[in-house]
Chains A and B, each alone.
Chain A
Amino acid sequence: MSAASSARVTRRSQRGSLLALNETNPLVPYLFLLPHAVFFLVFIVYPVAFGFYVSVHQWDLLSGNSPFVGLKYYAQIFDPSSPQSQFFWRTLLNTAFFTVVSVPLLVGTALGLALLVYRPIFGQNIFRAIFFMPGILSVSVMGILWRWMFDNQSGLINVIREQFFGQAVIQFLTTEGWAWVPIIVGTVWWTIGFNMTLYLAALGGISQSYYEAAQLDGAGPWAQFRFITFPLLSPTTLFIAVTTVLASFQLFGQSLVITGGGPTRSTQSVIQYITEEAFGNNQQSSAAAMAFLFGALMLIFTGFQFRLMAKDLRSSGKDG
């Protein structure tokens, strides 16, 4: 492999030019880093700083006159008399509710599904493909599908309830409380395949010898799961739980497409509210302040994810 490819490589004269890609040039690594670094600084680092700048000014897109206002917009979020405060905390609570309900579902059902399809069975690959498939659809397709499934009058769910079980129609999309059902069911349907696939990969990494030893000791299927599978999956479970919490807190498209955030903001996510403040009410500064506060609250979880990845990095760095 290397012989074949290095045969195509020609020897170059080792001149000291700063653009030459040879080992004597100390700038080579930086030349490699440069293209990504430019985009990284312009589109990731700068916007964070600029966002903070916007949040402490009274940004006005039209006049271009944007006076410094200090922490006014941050204070506003904590002032109970302002509508911004009311809506921010309300939608944050909505998002937290969604997270608390959906994360155990998304982790638990994914594990159950993975255990169901892990052992060989007729049509195993087809089942795996089917369970993963919804995840590739865009959020708008997924949302339109589930809005139709839970339609107040003619949705499949209501029709089945009415026709086969004689139940009265539930106005899922416009009833406070019930409106969460299509959002949560749709989200589980949409994202469970990712988590299932992660669990399947982890299950494949568990040595069969543990199970053989346990069988010799007379352990039944439940004992094997309880004392072998589950403990050995715990790093995966932790990873899945953290990433799923992060994804759930970023709820946006599902509730926007399925319920529009209604009725009366009862399913509006905090991100939807922030975008409404920024683009609907044209209050970019207020929205930027909310985004920063939300980002700071999220730091608890994003920091945790960061630590998990850093750990992964250290353990793999040894051989590199």
Chain B
Amino acid sequence: MALTVQGSTPRVIKRQQRPTWLMDAPRFVLLMILALIFLAPIYWMLSTSFKPESDAIATPIQWLPAHPTLDNYTEIINSPDGKLWRWTFNSVFTALAFTLAHLTLCVLTAYPLARLKFKGREAWFWIILSSLMVPGIVTLIPSYIMMLQFNWIDTYHALIWPGVAGVFGVFLLRQFFVGIPLELEEAARMDGANSLQVLIYVILPLSVPALVSLAVFAFMGSWNNYVWPLYVATSPDMQTLPVGITSFSQRYVTEYGKLMAGTAIAAIPVLIAYLAAQRYLVSGIALTGMKD
């Protein structure tokens, strides 16, 4: 008598084998609708910018420009008091200089805080970190008065230097440096490397993801800064792009085609840069949980 175990088939949890695209169809449709809503303001900006003024406010609504024209763009660019190129240059220059200075200062401070042993290390780190509790508005007015005293109003100095000692970057890099294996550093020291050489040849090459993320954040932070440049760089030649285009918006208050053309010129380079650097931006946020 043979005891058969064949009857007891192993219990298999069978998944329903419906095609996944069918399961995902509602989610996909929902995402499409949301994506269209998200893109609507940008589409509407572009659409308006290619319309003659009369079409911009025409009813019934013109989803596509009925009489597409570049007039708004040429007029905005050639406008004698419009300084779009100057503002763009100011923004680019300020953001690059700020990013470079900020990164250098953060690296130099984060390294000893992460790796070197010295008296007052903990204390200094906590002092730096606690400055995060001071909202920007508290230092805005005294900093403005300082700019007056330094004679820095309407100069690049005012746009670049006051923010370079921001401490979020120090915190971010310090956390990243702490995670780099100590053995690598010790090996370099055995070969006679000093602290600066260790930082440049060992730590920094291993920190590229953190450095790139910090650079992207610093650049964007400076590029989009609004409150500070609004008050310290007021002459048309020294305004940055975000401040400059709001002065546009006061001038072309009812000329929507021109206003949207100006806004598009300010927005499109950033959108293109975003598509290129998106990876770093997103991984950077994931890395740090950082927001401005």
Which A residues fall within an 8 A CB radius of B? 1-3, 5-12, 20-23, 26, 28-30, 32-33, 35-37, 39-40, 42-48, 50-51, 53-54, 59, 61, 113, 116-117, 121-123, 126-134, 136-141, 143-149, 151, 153-154, 156, 159-160, 162-163, 189, 194, 197-198, 200-201, 204, 216, 236, 239, 243-244, 246-247, 249-250, 252-253, 257, 271, 274-275, 278-279, 284, 287-288, 291-292, 294-295, 298-299, 302-303, 305-306, 309-310, 312-313, 316-317, 319-320
Contact = CB atoms under 8 A, between A and B. Distances in A.
B259 A295 contact: no
Contacts of A149: 40-41, 44
A189 B38 contact: yes
A113 B34 contact: yes
A32 B132 contact: no
A63 B48 CA distance: 49
Interface string B34-75: 110011111011001000000011011100000000000000
Nearest to A294: B137
B194 interface: yes
B85 interface: no
Contacts of A46: 142, 146
A262 B57 CA distance: 24
Interface residues of B, number: 115
Chain A interface, DSSP helix/strand/loop, else mixed:
helix
Contacts of B266: 138, 140-141
A316 B141 contact: no
Nearest to B108: A32
B137 to A, nearest CB: 5
B31 A29 contact: no
A121 B275 CA distance: 20
Contacts of A141: 242, 245, 263, 266-267, 270
A20 B163 CA distance: 30
A91 B162 CA distance: 28
Contact of B260 (A3, A51, A148, A189): A148
B125 to A, nearest CB: 8
A54 B141 contact: yes
